[in-house]
Amino acid sequence: MTKDDFWQGVRGGFPVMVSASPFGALFGALAVDNGFSVFDAVFMSATVFAGASQMVGIELFGHNVQPWLIVLSIFAVNFRHVLYSASIARHIRHFSGLQKFFAFFLLVDPQYAETEKRAERGEPVTFAWYLGFGLIIYLPWQVTTLLGAIFGQMIGDPKAIGLDVLLPIYFMGLVLGFRKRDNWLPVVAVSSLASVAAMHFVGSPWHVSIGAIAGILLAACLPLSKRHEEPVTLEHEV
Amino acid sequence: MDNAEHMHLIYVILAAAVATFLTRIGGYVMITQMKRIPPRMEAALNAVPAAVLSTLVAPAFLSGGWDVAAAMLVAMAVGLRLSSLWMLLVGWLAVMAIRHVLI
């Protein structure tokens, strides 16, 4: 049932929305602090819709960095989405062209993670479920950005109210959620070490792409488990 | 900001939005050009989420200060049994306790 799927998606995305809300508000507040108007902050949340990269963007804009470098940095922080959309292609082949457009626009980390988990459990990845999950994150992201931008001055020091610890813990929860996958521990170990080394020697935000590629290359080189022996066929898309 | 500066910002945001959308559709465009997924590529794709998300966790663990590191360890212990909402709650309580009670 389409309607049931939609509401199942909304329920699934609800905890994500709750944990993302402080960051939406924080983004709004920091954006205003960096010279954005309230409109600019919401405009960025509505069009870019990628929290970590939005934070990087306002930080660089506040320091008057050249426009091409701001866009390149946002591209680098978001580069992991290339991997998501490659990985998710297997599960959303049945979407129409317009549905795919919206699906990719809404493809944030938890959306990707939950789509993979849903497919792994053998449940159908319907557009209604995907849209429900995406909208319960996307729409409140705009509202919390707006509220954060308006009441920005009241947040004060995010560390004093413990906001800085939420994002890493949330991402760590997602990492733990994939611990049943093949070669999980070596991949996590290598990506972690490579990202820390890259942070030190190359700098942020490239540590994200470099660390990710290290773990992915390792997974491609390690011995394959039995279920990977048969190649999976993918119908050619028009 | 004057009007010209403001329009400049709007263009930067729009360029960032296009760049972000390209990352979100890029992998799909690449992979659908291939007729089948080789097994090693599938193994690599399966490693994507853990590999990427680890790069967002490890640097925060090392550079966030001992209070953040301690809260993350507590949250990880919770995460082995309970959902991520519990991880967030317990981790947040841990960091608040360290900052406002211990120090």
Give average pLDDT by consecutive 10-residue segment, chain B, 103 residues.
84 95 92 77 82 87 91 95 84 93 77
Domain range spanning residue A125?
Answer: 2-166
Number of separate domains in chain A: 2
In a domain, A14, yes or no: yes
pLDDT at position A165, please?
83
CB contact under 8 A, B47 and A199: no
Instruction: Tell me, yes or no, whether A29 and A114 share the same domain.
Output: yes
Instruction: Tell me, yes or no, whether A91 and A137 share the same domain.
Output: yes
A to B CB pairs, distance under 8 Å: 301
Listed residue (A125, A73, A110) closest to B49, CA to CA: A110
Residue A119, Cβ neighbours under 10 Å: how many? 16
Instruction: Tell me, yes or no, whether A97 and A208 share the same domain.
Output: no
Instruction: Tell me, yes or no, whether A62 and A114 share the same domain.
Output: yes
Instruction: Tell me, yes or no, whether A63 and A148 share the same domain.
Output: yes
Instruction: Tell me, yes or no, whether A107 and A196 share the same domain.
Output: no
Instruction: Tell me, yes or no, whether A137 and A198 share the same domain.
Output: no
Place of tokens 């490239």: A206
Nearest CA in chain B to A52: B56
Instruction: Tell me, yes or no, whether A127 and A204 share the same domain.
Output: no
pLDDT at position B19, please?
94
Residue A223, chain B, CB below 8 Å: the answer is no
pLDDT at position A80, please?
83
The interface predicted TM-score (ipTM) is 0.76
Residue A219, chain B, CB below 8 Å: the answer is yes
Whether the pLDDT of residue A24 is over 80: the answer is yes
In a domain, A41, yes or no: yes
Instruction: Tell me, yes or no, whether A105 and A30 share the same domain.
Output: yes
In a domain, A205, yes or no: yes
